[in-house]
Copies of this chain bind each other. A is one copy, B any other.
Amino acid sequence: MRPAATVPSTARREDNNDERVATMSPRGPRAPSVGSQGATLSDVAQAAGVSMATASRAINGSPDRVVGEELRRRVLEAAARLDYSPDANAQAMARGRTATVGLIVHDIADPYFSAIATGVAAAADDEHLAVTLANTQHDPQRELAFVRTLQEQRARAIILAGGRQDDERANAALRAALETYRSHGGTVALIGQPVLGVSTVQADNTGGAAALASELLRLGYRRYGILAGPKAHLTARERLDGFAGVLESAGVTPEAVVNSAFTRDGGYAALAELRRRAPDVEVVWAVNDVMALGAMTSARDAGLSVPGDLAFAGFDDIATLRDVAPPLTTVHLPLAEMGRLATPLALDVDGGVRQLSVTGEVVLRDSTPRM
């Protein structure tokens, strides 16, 4: 399985980095001493023969005042010549606000979150904001810690992505941290459930799952196995409620409902348990796509064919699905768009707590053929 490369190694030339010479700007000697940390606005002003105020206005175009054509040109020229780079930290201090938003995710390697991150990054870019990424690794402690760190950085806004837990203790702690952050002038938005008292972008999990259940029923499925995720996970629970509710009104009872982590590995492990508890299931629905994918792989590893022996469905419509075979039936969520939407919500200075809701769309694919 893992043969070493028994090949004439043309590879691995280690040090062809000799081009790091003569990269100095060909514009003549830089002003200050060697090893300088760069020119300051004061240097620029002096070089241009104007006051710092004028230099500042010329470079950053202050709201009110406008600088005369001639001086402006001189300032800009001097700035360029000196490789002047405004110090964002100093600007932040003087202006009393930064140009940074924080993005807190559970796991940036999860396609769900990286899609959201894409949306946030795009929106932030439009607003000329930098985004500080915080990866909690699913640890609520770290989530808390990151809120504090972001507060210390005076990030203008924080976007928290990821469903909340039904854990009043943890929620209370986070709520308090966010409240402190807000009392310090920050603003917050959440992508998940509105249980933190902040603006929220939420997906219609219940409705989407319900719609999916309806479709599966219509396709003729009657024996359901459900990978429900963690009991306390609100997203998981909402989806489960929506799905199970429809089954129930149709007089169908799931063969088994298995709880597990909300992750790919959680799905993989849960499938084995599901089969133990209910060997004769027709279709497995997992409350999110990564779990469904893990479960599908688990089923295959156990010798089952998909969808021949077992059909599968998920939720989210992560990008990964484009290349999965058979294509996975799911509920499409506009993930990047949700990240995009959350950004202005988070930046909202009115202090108003707003809610945005996006709906999911059932997408039937080959993993759930008509029975």
Binding site for B on A (CB under 8 A): 1-12, 14-17, 19-21, 23-25, 30, 36-38, 83, 85-90, 92-93, 96, 98, 100, 103, 107-109, 111, 114-115, 117-118, 121-122, 125, 130-135, 137, 148-154, 175-176, 179-180, 183-185, 194-198, 200, 204-208, 210-211, 213-215, 238, 241-242, 245-246, 249, 264, 293-294, 296-297, 300, 306, 319-320, 322-325, 336, 353, 355, 357, 359, 361-364
CB–CB B211/A6 < 8 A: yes
A-side interface mostly:
mixed
A-B contact pairs, 14 of them (CB 8 A): A1-B363, A2-B362, A10-B245, A25-B180, A37-B184, A38-B185, A83-B180, A88-B153, A108-B121, A130-B153, A131-B132, A132-B132, A296-B323, A320-B320
Chain B contacts of A149 at CB under 8 A? 130
CB–CB B108/A111 < 8 A: no
Instruction: Answer whether A7 and B86 are a contact pair too, CB < 8 Å, given A117-B108, A130-B149, A133-B103.
Output: no
CB–CB A185/B37 < 8 A: yes
Chain B contacts of A205 at CB under 8 A? 11
Chain B contacts of A293 at CB under 8 A? 323
Residue of B nearest to A305 (CB): B325
Contact of A20 among B6, B88, B152, B198 (CB under 8 A): B198
CB–CB A12/B89 < 8 A: no
CB–CB A11/B264 < 8 A: no
Question: From residue A228, how far is it (CB to closest CB) to chain B in Å?
Answer: 17
Question: From residue A112, how far is it (CB to closest CB) to chain B in Å?
Answer: 10
CB–CB B294/A211 < 8 A: no
CB–CB B206/A12 < 8 A: yes
Question: From residue A322, how far is it (CB to closest CB) to chain B in Å?
Answer: 7
Instruction: Answer whether A152 and B5 are a contact pair too, CB < 8 Å, given A12-B206, A96-B37, A197-B23.
Output: no
CB–CB B242/A17 < 8 A: no
Instruction: Answer whether A211 and B320 are a contact pair too, CB < 8 Å, given A117-B109, A148-B85, A184-B85.
Output: no
CB–CB B322/A357 < 8 A: no
